[in-house]
Amino acid sequence: MTHDGTLRLRMERVLRAPRSAVFRALTEPQELAMWWGPDGFTIPRVESDLRPGGGYRIAMQPPEGDLFHLVGEFLDVDPPERLSYTFRWEEPDPEDRETVVTLSLRDLGSTSTELALAQGDFATERRQALHDEGWTQALDKLEDHMSSAASP
């Protein structure tokens, strides 16, 4: 929770890859499908119109359960520094509301990039915690993906 009482999520990671490669992993459908989502989830399809005002739709398949979709609209696309978009479930939980995700990339040299993630505002602490867990697992997978892509 922030000091003003709103429920926001903030995370940072240092990834062993150049900023342009990290931006591609965050935006190109084939790359995104390789790491997106919590542990055990697969991503059978990613549709994306990567431009301000363009939309996206990500099909997510949990290990057990029915396929569901994440959708939204790109608000800011500034390669390779920043990406911002709305985030909502097609069939939301009653505690869900549309949030905004902002990803900022800071160049730490030719082989490392700092990724800062911000998302909010959440309707409940429970939904914030769910996203915290999901992003933590997804960013772990992104970190592995970027490290393996950088290996010879």
Evaluate if residue 152 carries a pLDDT over 60: no
The pLDDT assigned to 2 comes to 46
Q: Is 50 within a domain? A: yes
Per-residue pLDDT tens for 47-71?
A: 999 999 999 999 999 999 999 999 9
Evaluate if residue 118 carries a pLDDT over 90: yes
Asked whether the beta carbons of 46 and 58 are under 8 A apart, the reply is yes
β-partners of residue 42 are 61
Evaluate if residue 138 carries a pLDDT over 50: yes
pLDDT band at 6 (very low <50, low <70, confident <90, very high): confident
As a whole number of angstroms, the distance between CA 51 and CA 75 comes to 8
Which residue, chain included where needed, has tokens 């995700």? 101
Q: Is 1 within a domain? A: no
The pLDDT assigned to 93 comes to 85
Q: Is 3 within a domain? A: no
Q: Report the chain's C-alpha Rg in angstroms.
A: 15
The pLDDT assigned to 3 comes to 47
Look at the alpha carbons of 83, 85, 89, 90 in this order and tell me if their dihedral is positive or negative.
Answer: negative
Host domain of residue 68: 8-150
Evaluate if residue 146 carries a pLDDT over 60: yes
The torsion angles phi and psi of 48, rounded to 5 degrees, stand at -150, 135
Higher pLDDT, 83 or 147: 83
Q: How many domains does the chain have?
A: 1
Asked whether the beta carbons of 77 and 53 are under 8 A apart, the reply is no
Q: What's the average model confidence in pLDDT over 95-108?
A: 96
As a whole number of angstroms, the distance between CA 89 and CA 98 comes to 8
Evaluate if residue 149 carries a pLDDT over 80: no
In percent, the amount of the chain with pLDDT more than 90 equals 88
Q: What is the CATH number of the domain that holds 83?
A: 3.30.530.20
Q: What's the average model confidence in pLDDT over 68-79?
A: 98
Average pLDDT along the chain: 94
β-partners of residue 58 are 46, 70
